[in-house]
């Protein structure tokens, strides 16, 4: 299996326009997702320290749901994470294991996220810069005992400001992952509106995107069209459909 690594994103709050010097470590993980089943109830990732200084990392699992297009995380005991806190030596690595504490759901996939948070060292008394902590979050899916595929349904509307809104609802029992999409008006000469999204849509949830219809819009047809050709690239294949904008 091919493994991938990604640098953790930097989370910080600071005043605009100017930032004092910052101190932070960096770590990578591989792979970027965990998949568990009724038969395979454990999985592992490798966390690597890219710095020449030690990094303390805290690992924690959360249940993951989506409501009104937003991700919601709640503390859970469904997953056992080991080790929960560890120190990465300079240029070193640590194997982190996740184990399911109970059986899989008979019909619906279960969704969790594993977060890895850097624990910054105590700053020196004379330190006046900004301490930056790195945080990374990756999905953990538990397949249903009798899995069924995702069922995406697409629709288009306009909001009160007249902007086009594309919506994808997952009526299935397994997550969907949308990688990119394009919308082309079926009237006029405007080109397609394209966007990369890389968004998960969990079972029973939906995601929406507000489209900038000023792009590729020489004659105004993108903004005023009432029918579009949708082409979407998902983790499970391509979608090609015609959408009518709902009144």
Instruction: List, for residues 44-59, the tens digit of each pLDDT value.
Output: 999 999 888 899 999 9
β-strand pairing of 133-142 with 79-82: unpaired
For residue 203 the two structure tokens come to 């079972």
β-strand pairing of 130-131 with 22-23: parallel
Rounded to an integer, what distance in angstroms lies between the CA atom of residue 31 and that of residue 86?
Answer: 19
Closest CA to 59 of 71, 46, 50: 46
Query: Per-residue confidence at 26, pLDDT binned at 50, 70, 90?
Result: confident
pLDDT at 16: 28
Tell me the average pLDDT across 87-110.
96
196 DSSP β-pair partners: 180
pLDDT at 60: 97
For residue 78 the two structure tokens come to 């469904």
61-76 pLDDT, tens digit each = 999 999 998 999 999 9
164-213 pLDDT, tens digit each = 899 999 999 999 999 999 999 888 777 788 889 999 999 999 999 998 76
Q: What angle do CA 36, 168, 35 make, to 5 degrees?
A: 5
Lowest mean pLDDT among 30-34, 95-99, 116-120, 176-180: 116-120
Domain residue extents for the chain: 6-142, 152-244
Ranges of H-type helices in 178-228: 221-224
pLDDT at 160: 86
CATH number of the 6-142 domain: 2.60.40.10
Instruction: Give the global pTM.
Output: 0.82
pLDDT at 209: 94
Q: Could you tell me which residue, 121 or 225, shows the higher pLDDT? A: 225
Query: Per-residue confidence at 18, pLDDT binned at 50, 70, 90?
Result: very low
Q: Could you tell me which residue, 189 or 242, shows the higher pLDDT? A: 242
125-158 pLDDT, tens digit each = 665 566 667 899 999 999 999 999 999 999 999 9
Q: At residue 9, does pLDDT exceed 70?
A: no
Rounded to an integer, what distance in angstroms lies between the CA atom of residue 171 and that of residue 149?
Answer: 10
List all residues 6 or more positions away from 196 whose beta carbon is below 8 Å from its beta carbon.
179, 180
Q: DSSP state, 245?
A: B
Q: At residue 12, does pLDDT exceed 60?
A: no
**Fold classified for 152-244:** Immunoglobulin-like (2.60.40)
Burial class (CB in 10 A: 0-12, 13-18, 19+), 14: exposed
pLDDT at 181: 95
Find out whether 131 and 22 touch, Cβ atoms under 8 Å.
Answer: yes
Find out whether 36 and 139 touch, Cβ atoms under 8 Å.
Answer: no
List all residues 6 or more positions away from 117 whose beta carbon is below 8 Å from its beta carbon.
57, 58, 59, 60, 133, 134, 135
Tracing tokens 């759901």 back to the chain, one arrives at 105
Tell me the average pLDDT across 215-241.
80
DSSP E strand stretches across 89-205: 93-100, 110-119, 130-131, 133-142, 152-158, 164-170, 176-185, 193-201
pLDDT at 218: 55
């Amino acid at each position: 299996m091919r493994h991938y690594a990604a640098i953790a994103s930097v989370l910080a709050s600071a005043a605009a326009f100017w930032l004092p010097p910052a101190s932070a470590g960096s770590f990578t993980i591989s792979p970027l997702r965990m998949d568990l089943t009724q038969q395979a109830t454990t999985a592992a990732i490798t966390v690597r320290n890219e710095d020449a200084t030690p990094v303390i990392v805290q690992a924690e699992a959360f249940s993951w749901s989506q409501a009104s297009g937003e991700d919601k995380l709640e503390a859970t005991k469904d997953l056992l994470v080991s080790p929960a806190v560890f120190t990465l030596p300079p240029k070193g690595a640590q194997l982190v294991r996740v184990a399911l504490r109970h059986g899989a759901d008979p019909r619906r996939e279960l969704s969790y996220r594993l977060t890895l948070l850097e624990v910054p060292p105590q700053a020196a008394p004379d330190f006046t810069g900004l301490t930056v902590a790195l945080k990374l979050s990756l999905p953990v899916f538990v397949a249903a005992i009798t899995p069924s595929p995702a069922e995406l349904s697409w629709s288009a509307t306009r909001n009160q400001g007249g902007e086009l809104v594309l919506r994808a609802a997952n009526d299935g029992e397994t997550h969907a992952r949308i990688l990119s999409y394009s919308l082309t008006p079926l009237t006029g000469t405007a080109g397609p509106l394209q966007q990369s999204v890389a968004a998960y849509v969990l079972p029973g949830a939906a995601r929406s995107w507000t489209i900038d219809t000023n792009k590729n819009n020489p004659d105004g047809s993108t903004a005023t069209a009432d029918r579009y050709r949708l082409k979407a690239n998902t983790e499970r294949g391509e979608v090609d459909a015609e959408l009518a904008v709902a009144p």
